[in-house]
């Protein structure tokens, strides 16, 4: 990251100090930190509790900490295991909390706990696995399910995954959606206030995929996006991360802008620099488990989202009020509809989207919900 430090890059001593005496102390435990799921499900959760609750404090720990920390249960009152496959270290941590009469939660944000979904996951992610790789993938999912089954309660990102968890484990499940952190909120507020609403006929589009695994998702919208770009030569498409140019995209390559990976704060600026954020998804149980983060991260900076009408996007986006929903054959039509908006109409949509995001997808909005988990959960 450029001229910017990773906010969760703290020493073990500093992370232990986040657990305050006199509060209910929550330890989030992950295999390792990263800027993806760990950020949303551990760092953001702890930040929301530490800034929004007087009754609960929280911190985050990793497998490597166990080399220096004999018993995490001595420092925390509840444990949240995040996406960790079963192994002897995870078993030991869970067992010590259970023996101390302390509740253990499992947080999962994908269909990676039930091996029945393993072929579906690999297909949707465009993974090509062979031999030992397939065995390792099935083993990983099976071991995540084993660790989940040892816990008292499960936390997940949406109601679709919650139902799959109940079918798999029979455990009680709570839903806490993903949300932006304070670092994102600070820069997004500035970006929203300084935004420049552009009007058609051309639009700047953005697809922020991050990895090769989303190639099949983009394919859902590809023809419609290319048709729109060809019909509006002043339009552009910004592609961030890894997405190979297909024969279809080659037709409009002069209108395509490539950008490299960037940290999650810089990403907010990249999103703010386009008029429309594209969020196409395949239609499958795996993609139904995906969160609405592309909507709220665009909404807080004033960028319009057009998304596949999966259950979570249908719930998050009020079509033509706070964003747009598009079936597979409607992407060009919907993009033309956005391009035809007046600046007043687009301003109304972006403000409605931002209001929704701030009300539903921030640490401030969700701190009470997260806090209640550790007092009300069965």
Which residues of the chain have a pLDDT value below 70?
1-3, 121-131, 200, 210-213, 378
Measuring CA to CA, how many Å separate 260 from each of 1, 58, 79, 221, 374? Answer: 12, 33, 36, 21, 40
> Are 18 and 166 contained in the same domain?
yes
Domains: count for the chain: 2
- For residue 134, is it within any domain? yes
> Are 314 and 370 contained in the same domain?
no
Cβ-contact 194, 269 below 8 angstroms? no
- C-alpha span between 261 and 251 (Å, rounded): 24
Q: What residues does 103 pair with on adjacent strands?
A: 78
φ/ψ of 311, rounded to 5, equals -55, -45
- pLDDT for 1 equals 40
- pLDDT for 2 equals 46
- pLDDT for 295 equals 98
- For residue 140, is it within any domain? yes
> Are 71 and 111 contained in the same domain?
yes
> Are 329 and 369 contained in the same domain?
no
> Are 61 and 195 contained in the same domain?
no
- For residue 4, is it within any domain? no
> Are 73 and 39 contained in the same domain?
yes
- C-alpha span between 355 and 371 (Å, rounded): 23
**Spatial CA neighbour of 28 closest among 17, 14, 15:** 15
pLDDT tens, position by position, 217-262? 999 999 999 999 999 999 999 999 878 889 999 999 999 999 988 9
> Are 368 and 356 contained in the same domain?
no
Cβ-contact 158, 312 below 8 angstroms? yes
- For residue 2, is it within any domain? no
- For residue 192, is it within any domain? yes
**What CATH number has the domain bearing residue 48?**
3.40.50.2300
> Are 241 and 220 contained in the same domain?
yes
- pLDDT for 103 equals 97
pLDDT tens, position by position, 339-350? 999 999 999 999
> Are 34 and 165 contained in the same domain?
yes
Helix axes of 215-231 and 331-339: crossing angle, nearest 10 degrees: 50
- C-alpha span between 110 and 48 (Å, rounded): 22
> Are 84 and 170 contained in the same domain?
yes
**What CATH number has the domain bearing residue 288?**
3.40.50.2000
> Are 206 and 267 contained in the same domain?
yes
- For residue 75, is it within any domain? yes
- For residue 20, is it within any domain? yes
- pLDDT for 232 equals 96
φ/ψ of 174, rounded to 5, equals -120, 145
> Are 112 and 26 contained in the same domain?
yes
- For residue 5, is it within any domain? no
- pLDDT for 90 equals 97
Q: Give the structural domain span for 81.
A: 12-178+363-376
């Amino acid at each position: 990251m450029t001229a910017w430090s990773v906010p969760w890059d703290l020493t073990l001593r500093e992370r232990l100090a986040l657990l305050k005496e006199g509060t209910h102390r929550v330890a989030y435990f992950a295999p390792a930190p990263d800027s993806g799921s760990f950020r949303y499900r551990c760092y953001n959760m702890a930040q929301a509790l530490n800034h929004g609750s007087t009754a609960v404090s929280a911190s985050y720990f990793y497998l490597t900490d166990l080399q220096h920390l004999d018993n995490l249960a001595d420092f925390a009152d509840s444990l949240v295991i995040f996406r960790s496959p079963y192994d002897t270290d995870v078993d030991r941590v869970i067992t010590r909390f259970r023996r101390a009469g302390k509740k253990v939660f499992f947080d999962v944000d994908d269909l990676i706990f039930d091996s029945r979904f393993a072929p579906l996951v690999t297909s949707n992610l465009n993974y090509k696995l062979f031999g030992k790789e397939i065995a390792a993938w099935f083993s990983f999912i099976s071991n995540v399910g084993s660790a989940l089954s040892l816990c008292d309660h499960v936390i997940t990102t949406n109601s679709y995954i919650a139902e799959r968890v109940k079918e798999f484990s029979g455990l009680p499940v709570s839903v806490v959606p993903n949300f932006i952190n304070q670092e994102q909120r600070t820069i997004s507020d500035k970006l929203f206030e300084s935004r420049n609403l552009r009007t058609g006929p051309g639009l700047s589009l953005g697809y922020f995929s991050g990895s090769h695994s989303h190639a099949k998702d983009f394919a859902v919208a590809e023809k419609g996006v290319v048709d729109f770009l060809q019909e509006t030569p002043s339009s552009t498409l910004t592609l961030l991360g890894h997405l190979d140019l297909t024969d279809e995209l080659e037709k409009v390559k002069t209108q395509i802008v490539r950008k490299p990976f960037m940290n999650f704060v810089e990403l907010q600026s990249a999103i703010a620099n386009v008029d429309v954020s594209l969020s196409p998804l395949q239609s499958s149980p795996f993609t139904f488990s995906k969160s609405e983060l592309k909507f709220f991260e665009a909404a807080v900076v004033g960028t319009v989202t057009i998304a596949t009408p999966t259950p979570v996007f249908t719930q998050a986006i009020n079509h033509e009020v706070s964003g747009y929903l598009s079936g597979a054959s409607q992407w060009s039509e919907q993009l033309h509809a956005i391009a035809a908006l007046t600046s007043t109409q687009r301003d109304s949509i972006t403000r409605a989207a931002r209001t929704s995001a701030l009300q539903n997808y921030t640490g401030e909005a969700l701190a009470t919900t997260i806090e209640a988990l550790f007092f009300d959960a069965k």
